[in-house]
Chain A
Amino acid sequence: MLTCKDFLAELSDFLDEKTDAELRAKLERHIAECPNCWVICDTTRKTISVYKGMKCYPIPDEVHSRLLAAVERKMEAKKAAGKA
């Protein structure tokens, strides 16, 4: 019989579907009988889902331009060193 602590230790693998069938069945039985663990499982699943669609920081144009210029300088230097 799994305890709530046992369930919590396996929660990530359970949500990522990385547990074997036997353990998965035990974990599913536990949340069917334990309302607290069911809520934790459901809200953790939603936490992961809400972050999945999170967009990147927009890179300011001047940062992108500086990065590009620095890389181009490096490329030129490498090319010049290759010719030497």
Chain B
Amino acid sequence: MATESVPIAAPFELSPEAKEELELVNRAREGDATAFSTLLNRYEGKIFRLAMNITQNREDAEDVLQEAFLKAYEHLDQFQGNSKFYTWIVRIAVNQALMKLRKRKTDRSVSLDEQIDTGEDTVVREIASWDPDPEQQFSQDELHTILQEAVDELAPIYRAVFVLRDVDGLSTEETAEALGLSIPAVKSRLLRARLQLREKLTRFFKRKGDNAFAYM
């Protein structure tokens, strides 16, 4: 028997973008295939990037991408409309990606919430000024490779937080919600990720003649 889909009412004053997105979700819930395809086209690139960053495996990332959108479609009725659709689907994708990691690493469980060493990874080892526009020294492709390789070297618990917060531009609260972490946990992981990336990029971007030196 067909179940009637009840449109989600906006719980508070929404931005025009959020309103338009909620409308798309409502139409998709009513069976409008074009509306769901619009959401898919909008977010598939970001979800794929996040899945690549967590799994670091192209095949797994493709599976995660597909599973996340299928699950989202299947459970569209559970979307409450009090968060962004992207935050909601990120949470689904992260769970799928972690399941992939767990399958691969059968000897230990994998979680984004695991305890981290709070000392060593905030130690700053290198300090050197950068060129004013460091990215100008490299071609777009070279720069992309440098940035991606630096992120790939981070632990998964830092990678996901950094990508959502600083690359995708989610707020701390949205990142916490998407990853199922507390706000202090997001903040401490973000600081460590930023400091570690800064140090890795210093190797490429430091001003010629400046020597990096040990500190703190």
User: Do the two shown chains form a genuine complex with each other?
Assistant: yes
Chain B residues contacting A54 (CB-CB under 8 Å) are 144, 147-148, 167
Q: How many residues of B contact A (CB 8 A)?
A: 50
A23 within 8 Å of B (CB atoms): no
A28 within 8 Å of B (CB atoms): no
Chain B residues contacting A46 (CB-CB under 8 Å) are 130, 134, 205
Say whether A70 contacts B70, CB under 8 Å. Answer: yes
Q: How far is the CA of A71 from the CA of B73 in the complex (A)?
A: 8
Q: How large is the interface on A (under 10, 10 to 19, 20 to 34, 35 or more residues)?
A: 35 or more
Which residue on chain A has the smallest CB distance to residue B43? A56
Chain A residues contacting B191 (CB-CB under 8 Å) are 8-9, 11-12
Nearest Cβ distance between residue A43 and chain B, in whole angstroms? 5
- Per DSSP, chain B at the interface is helix
B77-91 with Cβ < 8 A to chain A:
none
Taking Cβ atoms with an 8 Å cutoff, the residues of B that contact A are 1-3, 31, 33, 36-37, 40, 44-46, 48-49, 52, 62, 65-66, 69-70, 73-74, 122, 124, 127-130, 134-135, 143-144, 147-148, 162, 166-167, 169, 172, 187, 190-191, 194-195, 197-198, 201-202, 205, 215-216
Q: What are 29 A-B interface contacts by the 8 Å CB criterion? A: A4-B216, A8-B191, A11-B191, A11-B195, A36-B215, A36-B216, A39-B128, A40-B195, A43-B201, A44-B195, A46-B130, A46-B134, A48-B194, A50-B134, A50-B135, A52-B167, A52-B169, A57-B45, A57-B48, A57-B52, A59-B48, A63-B65, A66-B62, A66-B66, A67-B69, A70-B69, A71-B37, A75-B73, A82-B31
Top 4 closest pairs, chain A to chain B, by CB: A56-B45, A82-B2, A12-B191, A47-B198
Known contacts A51-B147, A57-B48; can you find 12 more A-B pairs with CB under 8 A? A8-B216, A11-B195, A16-B172, A36-B127, A43-B201, A43-B202, A57-B52, A58-B45, A68-B37, A71-B73, A72-B33, A79-B31
